[in-house]
């Protein structure tokens, strides 16, 4: 938690994760937040993917209600291309066609030309999972519901205890019952050679898959097995998706 989401806050937050063992981040998925983008580049040196869902919302805000269906269909044609070069060519063609009628939309597409298709530099099998921050939205809603019930917390540690317990429980569920990605598909992206391991979930403790989840509107980040209690961990924000393919989790 912090007073704002400016670059200094995100830089401090991401550095706190690296001090706690975050390594090998390959991709960060988020909305277009300049402070977060700069902090990501400075601290993690990872590829940044602009959330496609958030981009579409921003794009359609620049057109009238009657034109939104047509504009959305036009933009989506670029998402259907399977080759990066073809996707870039289609994106440019759509942006040029829309520029005349919707100048602000054209500017937005120019700005996002390299950011929205960033997922295409990763394995095709992963594209569906990494094009947006949508997987965490139900979790964010549940966190909001539970914190609204409490309404007033005596201190930050109380927030961390409640939200941290929810995140640890969700992490176990994703690792054991609803695994988001298989380790086999991630081996090629790992900085370390694969090692066979068996995951044994602990009661209300973190499962350490390559995709652990932190915070409040969107973050996915790996965590390392640690004796640090949930109450002593700094609160983590869920507006960024940190992806670390690493088959060596336990």
Quick check: pTM over 0.75?
Answer: no
* CB-based contact 145:215 (threshold 8 Å): no
Distance CA 28, CA 47 (A): 6
**Domain locations along the chain:** 7-50+132-243, 52-124
pLDDT of residue 192: 63
pLDDT of residue 94: 92
58, containing H or E segment: helix 52-60
pLDDT of residue 57: 92
Q: Which residues contact 171 (CB under 8 A, 6 or more apart)?
A: 206, 207, 209, 212, 213
With a cut of 50, which residues of the chain have pLDDT below it?
Answer: 196-250
Distance CA 130, CA 121 (A): 11
How far apart, in Å, are the Cα atoms of 44 and each of 113, 126, 235? 22, 21, 19
């Amino acid at each position: 938690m912090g007073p704002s989401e400016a670059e200094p806050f995100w830089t401090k937050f991401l550095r706190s994760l690296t001090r706690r063992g975050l390594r090998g981040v390959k991709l960060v998925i988020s909305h277009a937040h300049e402070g977060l983008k700069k902090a990501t580049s400075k601290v993690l040196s990872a590829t940044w993917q602009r959330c496609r869902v958030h981009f579409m919302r921003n794009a359609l805000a620049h057109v009238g209600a009657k034109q939104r269906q047509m504009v959305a269909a036009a933009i989506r044609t670029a998402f259907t291309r399977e080759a990066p070069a073809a996707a870039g060519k289609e994106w440019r063609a759509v942006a040029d066609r829309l520029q005349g009628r919707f100048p602000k939309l054209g500017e937005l597409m120019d700005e996002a030309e390299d950011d929205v298709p960033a997922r295409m530099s990763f394995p095709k099998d992963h594209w569906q999972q990494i094009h947006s921050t949508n997987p965490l939205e139900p979790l964010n809603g549940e966190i909001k519901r539970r914190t609204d019930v409490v309404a007033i917390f005596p201190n930050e540690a109380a927030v961390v205890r409640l939200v941290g317990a929810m995140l640890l429980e969700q992490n176990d569920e994703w690792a054991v019952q609803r695994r988001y990605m298989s380790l086999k598909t991630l081996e090629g992206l790992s900085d370390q050679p694969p090692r066979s391991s068996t995951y044994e979930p602990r009661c209300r403790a973190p499962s350490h898959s390559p995709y652990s989840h932190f915070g409040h509107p969107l973050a996915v980040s790996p965590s390392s097995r640690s004796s640090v209690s949930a109450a002593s961990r700094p609160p983590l924000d869920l507006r960024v998706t940190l992806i670390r393919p690493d088959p060596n989790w336990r």
